[in-house]
Amino acid sequence: MIQDNALLYLTEYLKQRFNNVVLNYDETVIAVIRPLSFILLVADFMQNSFTPIHVTKIYEPIFNLPAEIGIAIPLSAEVCTTAIFAWLGGSLKTKLGLKKLLFSGATISLLGFLICGILPNVIVFTIGKAVIGIGMGFVHVALLTFISEADNEKILSDGYAYYFASYFAAINIGCVIGGSLANFIGQRQVYFVAAATILGGIALGLYLLKNVALNISPKVSKTEQSKISIGKFLINPKIISFFFFIFIPYLVMSYFLYYFFPLFADQNNITTTRIAQAFLLNGIFVVYLGPLLAPKLEKLFSKKINMIIGSLLSVVALGLFALKPSLTTAVIALIILGVADSFTFTAQNIYYNTLEIVNKFGISKANGIKNTFENIAYVMAPAIFGIAMLSGISYGILLIALTSLVLLGLFFINLENLKKG
């Protein structure tokens, strides 16, 4: 349904543009957000299924670090710069305007992909990954702000739905395209394909957004007028419990797919095409099971319980693999992780955004802090898996699963104590 509506909106938009009809801001948002975000995100995700493998091939010792930790640095570099420049982009969006921020970010990312493809040295590759992160930080902020500036509530809701549909579709399609191309034309060449795809996205964006003013309005809702300080917000027991006991551990476990699995599959002589198909299998459960499972679980259980169920499933997935490491158990783990992702992110977002402390602080600012913690988790995750693997695959993965289980227990205990308090 979302896909059909998005195509309908875009077709109508192009007809009116062709006939020189002036369109308002809301009509522009709903028509262009999905194709534009999809193309730019597909380019970014083309590298996901093989980048850890690529780094192992060009890796040279960095600061005498073990290879298991050193190969995590390029991945962490991109996530780290994405986090920093997404925050910086939030400050620059009013000064530059959304179009300049969007196309500047896309151009910077294009440059990063070219650096990764041209120069196969691991240090330069890390710089290239960091440059990609800078650009994508700007792109994400521009696209999400583009949606949030819409005045109509339905347009706002549809805009976010189309963006996140594009995001998950881009993960699946980008990984499959990138993995397949890496198998046929080589891994380095995929970075050039990604750069060309971004160039196509820039060209499409320039056409779709021609003569459309994307200015940031100075409106601030009453809910965004903070009633408490950032310090008070961060030391709130419910906020500490959410971020450190359930949110960050869950995101770290997700790197079983993004970081560990490609390396493990490569060691077992699995082609990048097959690795990409495993990513797709995981994504199918997220995309298609989510709309069915999330609403039903919301009716059956509370948001807190759904978060705990999702985290337990991730612990089971990693624990199952740790007890008997094989390609079969790895694929089963990816399926279980896909089932967990299909409803856990929704439960986490609803739980967080309905906390009284979040509403007092301001939902927009609170979500900015949440995004920062999310990126911190993604920076830490490759290194955590790298360190864990120094102890051996079984022991290392089991250690991550058990640590997450202990933290999940602390989350539950803390909730019960807060109820009594």
Place of tokens 């986490």: 348
In Å, how far from its chain's centre is CA 207?
27
At what angle are helices 25-45 and 2-18 packed, to 10 degrees? 120
Contacts 24+ apart (CB under 8 A), 184-193: 187/50, 187/53, 187/54, 187/57, 187/272, 188/54, 188/116, 188/117, 188/120, 189/117, 190/46, 190/47, 190/50, 190/117, 191/47, 191/113, 191/114, 191/116, 191/117, 191/128, 192/113, 192/114, 192/117, 193/46
pLDDT confidence of 222, banded at 50, 70, 90? Answer: very low
Q: Compute the half-sphere exposure of residue 169: CA atoms within 13 Å on the CB side of its CA.
A: 15
Q: Are 258 and 76 in contact (CB under 8 A)?
A: no
The predicted pLDDT at position 220 comes to 43
Domain residue limits, the chain: 1-219, 222-421
Q: Do domains 1-219 and 222-421 have the same CATH topology?
A: yes
What average pLDDT does the chain have?
82
Task: For the domain covering 1-219, report its CATH number.
Answer: 1.20.1250.20
Report how far residue 157's alpha carbon sits from residue 144's, in angstroms, rounded to the nearest whole number: 12
Category of 269 on φ-ψ map: left (φ > 0), alpha (ψ -120 to 50) or beta:
left
Rg (CA), the chain: 21
pLDDT tops 70 at residue 15: no
Q: Are 53 and 266 in contact (CB under 8 A)?
A: yes
Tell me: the pLDDT tens digits for 366-384? 877 887 888 889 888 988 9
The predicted pLDDT at position 322 comes to 96
The predicted pLDDT at position 212 comes to 63
Tell me: the pLDDT tens digits for 115-137? 999 877 888 999 999 999 999 98
Q: Are 158 and 30 in contact (CB under 8 A)?
A: yes
Report how far residue 108's alpha carbon sits from residue 138's, in angstroms, rounded to the nearest whole number: 9
Q: Looking at residues 221-250, what average pLDDT do you find? A: 82
Q: Is the dihedral of CA 360, 364, 365, 368 positive or negative?
A: positive
Tell me: the pLDDT tens digits for 56-106? 888 877 677 777 777 888 888 888 898 888 878 777 777 788 888 899 999
Q: Which two tokens stand for residue 358?
A: 């979040």
Q: Which two tokens stand for residue 228?
A: 């408490």
Q: What is the largest CA-CA distance in the chain?
A: 65
pLDDT confidence of 417, banded at 50, 70, 90? Answer: low
pLDDT confidence of 273, banded at 50, 70, 90? Answer: confident
Report how far residue 86's alpha carbon sits from residue 84's, in angstroms, rounded to the nearest whole number: 6
Report how far residue 148's alpha carbon sits from residue 412's, in angstroms, rounded to the nearest whole number: 34
Name the CATH code of domain 222-421 (choices 2.30.30.90, 3.40.50.10680, 3.90.1570.10, 1.20.1250.20). 1.20.1250.20
